[in-house]
Amino acid sequence: MSEIKVDTIVDAAGTGKPNFSNGITVNGAATSTLNLGEYNASSSEPSSPQNGSVWWDTTNEVIKIYIAGEWKETVGVSSFAWGGTRGIVFLGFTTTVVNNIDYFDISSASNAADFGDLTEISFVPSAASDASRVLRFGGYNVSTNYQNTIDYITPSSLGNATDFGDLTHNVWKGSGLGDGTYGIHGGGTDSGGKSNVIEYVTVQTTGNSQDFGDLTSGRDSLAASNDATRGLFAGGTTGSDSNIIDYITIASTGNATDFGDLLSATQSLSATGDTTRVVIGGGHTGLITNVIQYVTTQTTGNATDFGDLLGGSYGLSACSDGTTACFAGGYNESSQAQNIIQNITIQTTGNASDHGDLTNASRQGAASSGNAS
Q: How many CB atoms lie within 10 A of CB 101?
A: 25
In tens, the pLDDT along 119-156 reads 999 999 999 999 999 999 999 998 779 999 999 999 99
Q: How far is CA 351 from CA 176, 321, 323, 345, in A?
A: 25, 18, 15, 9
User: Tell me, what amino acid is at 330?
Assistant: G
What tens digit of pLDDT does each residue of 236-253 get?
A: 999 999 999 999 999 999
Q: How far apart are CA 308 and CA 324, in angstroms?
A: 15
The backbone region for 106, taken as left when phi is positive above 0, alpha when psi lies in -120 to 50, beta otherwise, is alpha
Confidence at residue 76, expressed as pLDDT on a 0 to 100 scale: 45
62 confidence band (pLDDT: 50, 70, 90): low
Which residues 6+ apart lie within 8 Å of 154 measured at CB? 132, 133, 134, 370
Chain-centroid distance of CA 360 in Å reads 25
Confidence of residue 63 (pLDDT cuts 50, 70, 90): confident
Give all domains of the chain, ordered by start, each with its CATH number.
1-77 (no CATH), 86-370 (2.120.10.80)
Residue 51 has a pLDDT of 84
Strands (E), 122-222: 126-129, 134-141, 145-153, 162-166, 175-178, 182-186, 189-190, 193-194, 197-202, 210-214
Of the chain, the percentage scoring pLDDT greater than 70 comes to: 90
Please tell me the predicted confidence (pLDDT) of residue 71. 79
Residue range 194-203: mean pLDDT, rounded? 98
Which among 129, 131, 201 has a CA at the least distance from the CA of 168? 201
Residues 27-43: tens digit of each pLDDT: 555 555 555 567 788 87
- Please name which of 148, 151, 202 lies closest in space to residue 178, comparing C-alpha atoms: 202
pLDDT of residue 318: 98
Strand partners, 314: 331
- Which tens digits make up the pLDDT trace of 275-297? 999 999 999 999 999 999 999 99
